[in-house]
Structure 1
């Protein structure tokens, strides 16, 4: 007997449904978008990012030159550039974010050297670096030397030499003075500075001194210049053999000639007031129209001393010019004569001064009339203003 369909057991219905044949369908794998992105990036990385840095192999100092980056493997992606200069000296100015190309100016330098320029090109997380070495050729023109010196001078006169040195690179140079020719030998204050001086030596007759200035730079360049100074001997100088002494006329305003070379002038002076106001006096050393003096000013019970410059007026009087140099000394008592002693070694002068009867109280100071007058003094005198100067015995010693 057949059962109705709806009366079949549930288990049989399930089994029948499971065993029912169906059409075969190929399985479809799910799409993973994240995995696809990684694969694409990996492919791009495998393609490679390359950088070529183009520029000259050498350049002259002060000249402009171009440096250019060529990047391959970046596709349409934007490329970022970072420029750096791999050095300190000489200094090269590089714009860090200048793009793929920039124009640089080679610095001025003292010798041939290498300029190393580095660039880093970046695309996303990828980057590549390259360096370019450019040989800098320094200018090999030697420095230029020049000398400023007098054309002539006299025996016993201090001669100043002023040198100058310059070159296109404005670099430091090393100077060296050398005497040329067969003239009497001179002794320079310094031989390795641009400015120096020497004392023209004594001689029986006129002669010439030839000096050479050589300046060298760090690159080995040397520039030279020469100067010739003709030297004459003044026949009007005091004939004072070494070891002798000469008593001079002790009169106010009388100009006594001075010898060449080393000498000592010793004497004393007393300022006698006349009327009211201070009494001024000068122990003056002069050339023609210029002079340097030890100035004594008595006011009351004290006498002040100072060093001043003088010049001769059109009327022939010695006056103090404006903006004068003053070096104070003292004070000293005014009731006793002042003793003084000027000592010259032919190059500079020292003065010692103080109470005439108490040498242990004397003061000493440099009184460089050779530099003040820029030449050897020809004469000396004692002048008094506003009173009178009572002079003691004046002695000139060699």
Structure 2
């Protein structure tokens, strides 16, 4: 018995050690808070993709810089580094995942590398110039580009007479990267006047926006807007404040903003950013070295629209764009609304039909068996009649 217990303990120890060796640890650093929609979309889809596709168990640790509320100053960076060094002393993650520019810059600003042996994967990075500067042996990921051209084309389709487009943002590092990229493309549209408005205060923005009918506004990044007391607004609150001006038609360049009456547009996709970054991590976990895993420089953007907002603004999508778009709050057909109930009913009817066929078959078998018995009895009776007839004929012959 003692020998059995010893062998059992040895087996358990080996099993635990094998699992521990197979487990992959990932350190995650987000630029913004855990409840910021854009961050949440990236994180949830990153984790979901890994959990469904990784052959290894995962140990994920998550931290947030929260730079929509706090400036990424040298003092804050020093404090946060000390905090991480103390909390993760002796830890060397198998991979690091960062979202958005501030989190990546936090690692780039370190004179002495943090988690020096760990490769860094990123998503939501607006600064495309980094692609030629990053150390390819340690950094790879997914870039984010707010694509202005499809959105200008959308506005031209929605309102051919429009000539002014207002581009607004929160004056953050991300906003300025987006503005630089947009300015590089707008020369293609000399007939339009582009108005760039950026501020950390939302009242500065609303005061400068026009109050004329059908004013098209493109939202770039707005998560950093605050009030006079420097208290941050949620996305819902910011959008509600903008919507107080009934003449504004709010278009979005980010999927997290398609809510509260925002029409939508050709948007960056937090879901795609996170899942694509996870695919790069999975390739590394399967044995590829980081310097062979090329970054995704073409932002995985999608068309996304809110049906209610489109109707409220009296805008019509072309069939070509609508076909490949994500339509939120789309009115579903009767079948789409009750699809599961209909399929369940069809399945139940099919089962009853099979049962009916089985019963008919069994009755048929029973009838056939009964008919065969009757036929046998009839034949026996017939044979008996023939026999009796033969006997009667013989008796008549004897009597004669």
What band does the TM-score fall into relative to the shorter chain? under 0.3
Please give the TM-score of this superposition, normalised by the length of structure 2: 0.21
Higher RCO (CA < 8 A, seq sep 6+): 2
Q: Please state which structure has a larger fraction of its residues in helix.
A: 2
Q: Please state which structure has a larger fraction of its residues in strand.
A: 1
